[in-house]
Amino acid sequence: MTDSVLVDVLVLLAATLVVVASLRRLRLPPVLGFLVVGAALGPHALGWVEDTETTSTLAEFGIVFLLFTLGLEFSLPRMIAMRNEVFALGSAQVGLTAAAFGAISWWLGAPPEVAAVLGGAVAMSSTAIVIQQLTEQGELNRTHGRLSFGILLFQDLAFVPFLALAGVIGAAGADYSAADVLAAIAKGAAALAVVLAAGRWLLRPLFHEIAGSRTPELFTLAVLFVAMAAAWATHAVGLSLALGGFLAGMMLAETEYRYQVDAGIRPFRDILLGLFFVTVGMQLDPRLLGQQTLVVTGLLIGLLLLKAGVVTLVARRYAGSWFKSLRTGIVLSEGGEFGFALIALLLQNRLISQDLTQLLLAAITLSMVLSPFLIRHNKRLARYLLREKGPVETAMSRTEAATDALAHREHVILCGFGRVGQNVARVLESQGFEYLAMDLDPFRVRTAREAGEPVIYGDAADERVLAAVGLEHASAVVISFSDPDRALGIVKSIRRLNDKVPLLVRMADDTRLEQLHAAGATEVVPETLEAALMLVSHALLVLDVPLSRVVKTVGEIRRHRYSMLRSIFRREKADLIDESHDLREELHTVVLPPGAWSIDRPIAEVRARGAEVSFTAVRRGGIVGRDPDDTMQLRQGDVVVIYGTPEALEHAEAVLLAG
Residue 295: predicted pLDDT:
83
- 229 with 183, same domain: the answer is yes
pLDDT at 92 over 80: yes
Average pLDDT over residues 580-608: 78
Residue 636: predicted pLDDT:
87
What are the backbone dihedrals phi and psi of residue 592, each rounded to the nearest 5 degrees, phi first?
-85, 105
Residue 1: predicted pLDDT:
45
SS3 181: helix
Residue 153: predicted pLDDT:
75
DSSP sequence for 70-139: HHHT--HHHHHHTHIIIIIIHHHHHHHHHHHHHHHHHHTT--HHHHHHHHHHHH---HHHHHHHHHHTT-
Average pLDDT over residues 643-659: 82
**Domain containing 211 — which CATH number?**
1.20.1530.20
Is 615 within the bounds of a domain? yes
Residue 571: predicted pLDDT:
42
- 277 with 337, same domain: the answer is yes
Do 622 and 398 meet the contact criterion of CB atoms below 8 Å apart? Answer: yes
- 498 with 642, same domain: the answer is no
- 438 with 326, same domain: the answer is no
Task: Pick left, alpha or beta for residue 585 (phi over 0 → left; psi -120 to 50 → alpha; otherwise beta).
Answer: beta
Q: Which of 55-64, 258-267, 478-487 has the highest mean pLDDT?
A: 478-487
Order across the sheet with 614-620: list the strands.
586-591, 639-644, 614-620, 623-626
- The residue type found at 331 is V
The model's pLDDT over 136-171, given as tens digits with 9 standing for 90+, comes to 676 766 788 888 877 877 877 777 778 777 766 655
CA–CA distances in Å: residue 519 to residues 104, 227, 458, 487: 70, 56, 22, 10
Residue 93: predicted pLDDT:
87
pLDDT at 501 over 70: yes
Is 608 within the bounds of a domain? yes
pLDDT at 653 over 50: yes
- 186 with 263, same domain: the answer is yes
pLDDT at 486 over 70: yes
Picking from 332, 354, 386, the residue at the C-terminal end of a domain is 386
Residue 89: predicted pLDDT:
83
Residue 392: predicted pLDDT:
45
**Domain containing 400 — which CATH number?**
3.40.50.720
- 379 with 412, same domain: the answer is no
Q: Report the C-alpha gap between 604 and 291 in whole angstroms.
A: 66
Residue with the larger pLDDT of the pair 287 and 327: 327
Count Cβ neighbours within 10 Å for each residue of 222-246 and write b for 16 or more, e otherwise: bbeebbbebbebbbebbbbbbbbbb
- 115 with 70, same domain: the answer is yes
Residue 654: predicted pLDDT:
86
* 9-12: long-range pairs with CB below 8 Å, 24+: 9/55, 9/275, 11/41, 11/48, 11/49, 12/37, 12/38, 12/41, 12/49, 12/275, 12/278
Tell me the pLDDT band of 443, cut-offs 50, 70 and 90: confident
The model's pLDDT over 609-625, given as tens digits with 9 standing for 90+, comes to 888 888 888 988 778 88
Residue with the larger pLDDT of the pair 517 and 34: 517
Specify the DSSP element, H or E, that contains 575.
none
Mean of all residue pLDDT scores within the chain? 75
Average pLDDT over residues 635-657: 86
Is 267 within the bounds of a domain? yes
Q: What percentage of the chain has pLDDT greater than the value 70? A: 68
Count CA atoms within 13 Å of residue 624 on its CB side: 16
Is 512 within the bounds of a domain? yes
Question: What's the alpha-carbon Rg for the chain, to the nearest Å?
Answer: 28
Picking from 386, 403, 433, the residue at the C-terminal end of a domain is 386
pLDDT at 278 over 60: yes
How many domains, the chain?
Answer: 3
Nearest residue to 447 via CA among 640, 654, 655: 640
Tell me the pLDDT band of 292, cut-offs 50, 70 and 90: confident
Which residues lie closer than 8 Å to 203 by C-beta, 6 or more apart?
A: 226, 251, 252, 254, 255
Which residues lie closer than 8 Å to 259 by C-beta, 6 or more apart?
A: 646, 650
- 351 with 427, same domain: the answer is no
**Domain containing 610 — which CATH number?**
3.30.70.1450
Q: Look at 158-167, 349-358, 515-524, 636-645 and tell me which has the smallest mean pLDDT.
A: 349-358
The model's pLDDT over 506-527, given as tens digits with 9 standing for 90+, comes to 887 666 777 888 888 888 877 7
- 450 with 430, same domain: the answer is yes
Tell me the pLDDT band of 602, cut-offs 50, 70 and 90: very high
Exposure of 433 by Cβ count < 10 A (0-12 exposed, 13-18 middle, 19+ buried)?
middle
Is 34 within the bounds of a domain? no
Q: What is the pTM assigned to this prediction? A: 0.55
pLDDT at 429 over 50: yes
- 246 with 373, same domain: the answer is yes
Picking from 504, 521, 538, the residue at the C-terminal end of a domain is 521
Residue 9: predicted pLDDT:
67
pLDDT at 568 over 60: no
- 602 beta partners: 633
Residue 79: predicted pLDDT:
63
Average pLDDT over residues 85-97: 82
Is 22 within the bounds of a domain? no
Average pLDDT over residues 341-366: 72
The model's pLDDT over 106-139, given as tens digits with 9 standing for 90+, comes to 887 777 778 888 888 888 887 767 776 776 676 7
pLDDT at 393 over 50: no
Residue 351: predicted pLDDT:
63
- 330 with 438, same domain: the answer is no
Instruction: Give the start-end residues of each E strand in 424-564.
Output: 435-439, 455-457, 474-479, 503-507, 523-526
Average pLDDT over residues 279-298: 75
Residue 603: predicted pLDDT:
92
Residue with the larger pLDDT of the pair 192 and 580: 192
Is 527 within the bounds of a domain? no
pLDDT at 331 over 50: yes
- 434 with 374, same domain: the answer is no
Is 272 within the bounds of a domain? yes
| Domain ranges, residue 131 | 52-386
Residue 579: predicted pLDDT:
38
